[in-house]
């Protein structure tokens, strides 16, 4: 397809990125640490690590992996941490040692953890003590040879370090009893690593950087093989986009989404590291009052999140009273951004939510709206530099502008494939090297991409396609709705009917009133037949609503 979207690029954004400027993520990290040495890099609970600190600590961690554990280039190391200072230290240490990062969700059940450790073949793991009891259940059935444990405050200075660790373990009782014989404390690892010399390992674009697991909500999770080249490409694409709103001062970004998730990993941890950003790590964003309190202490310029996170903040007392005078960049991704949330966010903060789109398999950014956008436009934006998009039907034929079909992507950020799953790789890759995303959308006359819905979530009513995103967007406009999900349920007459599962904002909201509201904005076949009210909706670890679980129940 002709790249008509290039005409809409903001001034200064190139059509193609320079992939050869950096040889690897390791190259980017080391150059940033040298260039920005004394500037703040990552903060958590009032403690800050500078780029110099990150350089020193990650080097010690890497040296331990190399010199003490004897791990070789390409070996896999699992990291099972929430947003704490230990995460970037370990992440960059693994990469600098020439090893492969396996990000692990700390909320995994023993079954999920066992699968990921077995599938990845991880040799070592760094785990927060709060979750060590989960690992204890499965350790003997995994290939792990080394377990490194850490406490929440391990990288805090004295006396904050022992105080925080004592409160977490003894006062709040947040660390279930665990026993992992031979486990090594992180502080010992860093001490021993600092006494050794990190050997430089040549790493290039073709080397694996991450096994990033995906698909756990629809079946057995599989590892997307993301190379250094994939991530370098996405960082180059993202920083080219960021250059349109660059300023002389560094950005301070609120990082609430977990860093083990591809959106936060690339958009926050890596991209802002490359451009001298300061990440404020929020360990528990589900504690909304505590989250708002953290925000009140920081003069932040940027924030990223998903629709449910922004909606949650808007409905938390005290948020609207925060100082947003420095805020100028709000990035939304991970799930569809609802118009009601976007418009209210801009009313409260004075800054628009800028929506983008991506997948784990694409490192993740595929499209993004211009960061100079002044208001919500209902689009997921323009394809990033060096990215090709093709909208195709079920037979693989390319469709014309304005026609809805499966979004297919080709570009340097697209994964090598799924780890040890050539069959599943073949199912998602076309003969001409496009990735089939499973998302339905179209490209408009200006080149903006508009997503309709997930292919598997589409509802078929009397032969007509109903896209849940559209129905949810309309329902969310009702003042009495806090959260909503649309699913298809069996219907004798129409095959399927639309059902809404709703969390109320107004306790007086009735099903009849909500259906009438939808009837005013939707064609008859799209109007929900059934309404179910619930106290909460099932969500993934980053806040994406799980329609699959709603359908199953």
Q: How confident is the model at residue 493 (pLDDT cuts 50, 70, 90)?
A: confident
Q: Name the average pLDDT for the chain.
A: 95
The residues spanned by each domain of the chain are: 50-203, 231-454, 458-552
Q: How far apart, in whole angstroms, are the C-alpha atoms of residue 209 and residue 196? A: 24
86-131 pLDDT, tens digit each: 999 999 999 999 999 999 999 888 988 999 999 999 999 999 999 9
Q: How many CA atoms lie within 13 A of 510 on its CB side?
A: 3
202-261 pLDDT, tens digit each: 999 999 999 999 864 345 689 999 999 999 999 999 999 999 886 656 899 999 999 999
357-372 pLDDT, tens digit each: 999 999 999 999 999 9
**pLDDT exceeds cutoff 50 at 272:** yes
517-550 pLDDT, tens digit each: 999 988 888 999 999 999 999 998 889 899 989 9
Residue 54 in contact with residue 92, Cβ under 8 Å?
yes
Q: Does the domain spanning 50-203 belong to CATH 3.40.50.980? A: yes
Q: How far apart, in whole angstroms, are the C-alpha atoms of residue 299 and residue 433? A: 44
DSSP 545: B
Q: How far apart, in whole angstroms, are the C-alpha atoms of residue 260 and residue 420? A: 21
CATH numeric code, 458-552 = 3.30.300.30
Q: How confident is the model at residue 262 (pLDDT cuts 50, 70, 90)?
A: very high
Q: How confident is the model at residue 553 (pLDDT cuts 50, 70, 90)?
A: confident
Q: Please list, in sequence order, all residues whose beta carbon lies within 8 angstroms of the beta carbon of residue 42, skipping any fewer than 6 positions away.
A: 48, 49, 54, 85, 88, 278, 279, 281
CATH numeric code, 231-454 = 3.40.50.12780
- The two counts, helices (H) then strands (E), for the chain are 17, 26
Output the CA–CA distances (angstroms, integers) from residue 340 to 7, 310, 347, in the order listed: 29, 11, 11
**pLDDT exceeds cutoff 70 at 386:** yes
**pLDDT exceeds cutoff 60 at 506:** yes
Q: How far apart, in whole angstroms, are the C-alpha atoms of residue 512 and residue 26? A: 58
Residue 4, classed as helix, strand or coil, is helix
Q: What is the mean pLDDT of residues 129-155?
A: 98
Per-residue model confidence (pLDDT) at position 552: 86
List the structure tokens of 38. Answer: 């004394």
Instruction: State the residue for tokens 């310029």.
Output: 301
Q: What is the mean pLDDT of residues 143-169?
A: 98
DSSP 434: P
Q: How far apart, in whole angstroms, are the C-alpha atoms of residue 371 and residue 384? A: 12
Burial-class residue 90 by CB neighbours within 10 Å (0-12, 13-18, 19+): buried
Residue 104, classed as helix, strand or coil, is coil
Report the length, in residues, of the chain: 553
Per-residue model confidence (pLDDT) at position 472: 94
DSSP states of 503-524: EESSTT--HHHHHHHHHTTS-G
Q: Please list, in sequence order, all residues whose beta carbon lies within 8 angstroms of the beta carbon of residue 284, skipping any fewer than 6 positions away.
A: 82, 290, 291
Q: How far apart, in whole angstroms, are the C-alpha atoms of residue 413 and residue 235? A: 9
> How far does CA 402 lie from the centroid of its chain?
29
The reply to whether 50-203 and 231-454 are identical in fold is yes
Helix residue ranges, H only, 446-538: 468-476, 511-519
Q: Tell me the backbone φ, ψ of residue 86, rounded to 5 degrees.
A: -65, -25
Q: What is the mean pLDDT of residues 453-474?
A: 85
Closest to 338 measured CA to CA, from 304, 376, 373, 369: 376
275-298 pLDDT, tens digit each: 999 999 999 999 999 999 999 999
Q: How far apart, in whole angstroms, are the C-alpha atoms of residue 452 and residue 468? A: 8
Q: Is pTM, for the whole model, over 0.85?
A: yes
Facing residues of 40 across strands? 50
């Amino acid at each position: 397809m002709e790249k008509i979207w290039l005409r809409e690029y903001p001034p200064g954004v190139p059509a193609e990125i320079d992939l050869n400027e950096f040889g690897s993520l390791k190259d980017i990290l080391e150059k940033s640490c040298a260039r920005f040495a004394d500037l703040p890099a990552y903060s958590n609970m009032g403690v800050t690590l500078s780029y110099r600190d990150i350089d020193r600590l990650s080097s010690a961690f890497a040296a331990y992996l190399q010199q003490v554990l004897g791990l070789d280039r390409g070996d896999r190391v699992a990291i099972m941490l929430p947003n704490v200072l230990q995460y970037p230290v370990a992440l960059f240490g693994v990469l600098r040692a020439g090893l492969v990062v396996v990000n692990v969700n700390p909320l995994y059940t023993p079954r999920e953890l066992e699968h990921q450790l077995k599938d990845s073949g991880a040799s070592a793991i760094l785990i927060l003590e709060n979750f060590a009891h989960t690992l204890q259940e499965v350790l003997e059935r995994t290939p792990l040879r080394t377990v490194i444990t850490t406490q929440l405050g391990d990288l805090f200075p004295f006396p904050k370090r022992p105080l925080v660790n004592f409160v977490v373990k003894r006062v709040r009782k947040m660390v279930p009893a665990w026993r992992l014989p031979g486990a090594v404390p992180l502080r010992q690892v860093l001490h021993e690593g600092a006494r050794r010399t990190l050997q430089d390992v040549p790493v290039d674009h073709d080397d694996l950087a991450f096994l990033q697991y995906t698909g756990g909500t629809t079946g057995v999770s599989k590892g997307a093989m993301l190379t250094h080249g994939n991530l370098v490409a996405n960082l180059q694409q993202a920083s080219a986009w960021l250059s349109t709103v660059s300023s002389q001062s560094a950005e301070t970004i609120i990082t609430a989404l977990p860093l083990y998730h591809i959106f936060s990993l690339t958009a926050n941890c890596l991209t802002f590291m490359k451009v001298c950003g300061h990440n404020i790590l929020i360990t528990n964003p589900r504690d909304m009052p505590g989250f708002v309190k953290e925000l009140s202490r920081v003069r932040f310029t940027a924030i990223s999140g998903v629709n449910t996170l922004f909606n949650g903040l808007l409905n938390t007392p005290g948020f609207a009273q925060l100082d947003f005078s420095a805020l100028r960049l709000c990035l939304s991704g991970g799930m569809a951004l609802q118009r009601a949330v976007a418009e209210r966010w801009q009313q409260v903060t004075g800054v628009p939510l800028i929506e983008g789109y991506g997948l784990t398999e694409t490192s993740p950014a595929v499209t993004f709206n211009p960061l100079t956008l002044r208001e919500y436009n209902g689009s997921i934006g323009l394809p990033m530099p060096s990215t090709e998009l093709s909208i195709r039907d079920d037979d693989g034929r390319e469709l014309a502008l304005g026609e809805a079909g499966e979004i297919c992507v080709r570009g340097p950020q697209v994964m090598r494939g799924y780890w040890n799953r050539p069959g599943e790789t073949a199912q998602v890759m076309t003969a001409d090297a496009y990735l089939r995303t499973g998302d339905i959308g179209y490209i408009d006359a200006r080149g903006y991409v508009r997503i309709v819905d997930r292919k598997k979530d589409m509802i078929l009513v009397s032969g007509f396609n109903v896209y849940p995103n559209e129905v949810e967007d309309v329902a969310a406009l009702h003042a009495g709705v806090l959260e909503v999900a649309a699913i298809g349920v069996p219907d004798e007459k129409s095959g399927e009917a639309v059902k809404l599962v709703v969390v109320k904002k107004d306790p007086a909201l009735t099903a009849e009133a909500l259906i009438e509201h939808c009837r005013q904005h939707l064609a008859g076949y799209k109007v929900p037949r059934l309404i179910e009210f619930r106290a909460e909706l099932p969500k993934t670890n980053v806040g994406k609503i799980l329609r699959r679980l709603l359908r199953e129940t």
